[in-house]
Copies of this chain bind each other. A is one copy, B any other.
Amino acid sequence: MSQLTFGHIDPSDLSLFTDRYELTMMEGYYESGHTQRATFSVYFRRLPADRGYALASGLEQVIAAVEAIEFDADAIAFLADQGFGDDFLSFLESFEFTGEIRALPEGTPVFPNEPLLEVTAPLPEAQLLETLVLNQVGYQTLVATKAARMADVVRRHGDGQDLVDFGSRRAHGADAGLKAARAAYVGGFDGTSNVLAGERFGLPTYGTMAHSWVQSFESERASFEAFADVCGDDAVYLIDTYDTVDGAERAVAVTDDRDVRLGGVRLDSGDLVELSKAVHEIVGDADIVVSSGVDEYFLRDFFDDDGVASAFGPGTALTTSKDAPDSGVVYKLTAVERDETFEPSMKLSPGKVTYPGRKELYRVERDGSYAHDVLGRHDESLAGEPQLETIYEDGSLVYDPPSLSSIRDRTQREVERLPERCRRVREPEPYEVRISDGLETLRRETERDIREREG
């Protein structure tokens, strides 16, 4: 029998969740004594299509990973087998993060070129984190953004309906299922169908019945009777297995017969606006849960067309960020220490503007709304509220991660302060991010220096 591998990831495995070139470079930095500090910045070059903002998420997982990272005996043995040298492996055996991390708190809207995260650490340490940081922050930020857009549509056009993540099955692997549930909550969702996400992150879990329940009985009526007998009051019946309107009438009849209270019905196919109205006439005050093809565009149209629902279960569109599955976040070296000062650094990319150096981000408020941001140098003092928080200092965690529910509150508060034009779900207009004079000058000088040096 072959060795069976699910491919699970323990915290002690996170050190190897990295691209091989990170380790190749780490060995090179180590062997050539090139271990001075450098700053890496995590940012979007541009927002995914149709997004007027992105919502920072995933910082807690970065911290948990930094706390967990170690190269244990198994990892060292594997790397030896892969050809890494003994001296470097000894260095890895005592690896620990000694640097600084600054970051936007989760639930903060973020725009192109703004640092989600800045890591300043000896080159080998900062280099190691690239792959995992992008993997965790990029994905959660995508999902939190998608969720925040849906929650915002419900707040502005709906009637306080619940939003529950139903998308674990279509998420890309098990970690995505868990992290999507978390990020959806960060974005303003009320819970998830994923039981393990409930256990891991303390999220409310929800669930009703599937078509298989109905099909497994001799008739829809028999299946509803059995469900009423088992669940009693307030159960939610899936009514579209054979005919949605008949199903609604049957749910009412069976719960009447059995003398239990009808909690609600779920619609999972067909013309959901029209069916929701027809079903509402039948079920009265009972909940209507809508769960097929739900995303922010669907919700906008559903409310415009006067659909009736008390909860929505977005799935695939949420957990795959289907219209924008690629966050495009990057982790780029922006400064490197030489002779005890940080020298700005950048890649030259035709057609792309990149900003070198360590940074601060200021958000400027006017009349209770955000007017614009200013991206500046780390050592400038500018108007507006600085946004980056210090997470690690000299390798010590100095940040107390907030609870998920306070992050969720922050999201709502922050999104509601954004200008209406960038909260639109279709064709939002860009939020203004100004570049400080100091940073613009630094960019020009850095580019000029590179052209002189490399030309």
Q: Which residues of A contact B (CB under 8 A)?
A: 1-2, 4-11, 13-14, 16-25, 27-29, 31-32, 34, 38, 40, 60-61, 63-65, 67-68, 75, 78-79, 82, 123, 127, 130-132, 134-136, 138-139, 142, 166, 168-180, 182, 193-201, 205-213, 215-220, 226-227, 229-231, 241-243, 246, 269-270, 316, 319-322, 325-328, 331-333, 336, 338, 345-350, 397, 400-403, 450, 453-454
Contacts and interface: CB of A to CB of B under 8 A. Distances in A.
A208 B38 CA distance: 20
A10 B8 CA distance: 6
Number of copies: 2
Nearest to A30: B230
Contacts of A28: 209, 213, 226-227, 230-231
Contact of A78 (B176, B199, B215): B199
Given A24-B209, A199-B78, A229-B32, A333 B216 contact: yes
B168 A173 contact: no
Contacts of A270: 350
Contacts of A4: 60, 63-64, 67, 401
A2 B401 contact: yes
A161 to B, nearest CB: 19
Given A201-B5, A230-B32, A348-B242, A20 B193 contact: yes
Nearest to A82: B205
A199 B166 contact: no
Given A4-B67, A9-B174, 14 more contacts: A4-B60, A5-B61, A7-B61, A7-B175, A7-B179, A14-B174, A17-B196, A20-B205, A21-B207, A28-B226, A79-B195, A173-B176, A175-B176, A242-B454
Given A169-B138, A333-B215, A177 B17 contact: yes
Contacts of A207: 19-24
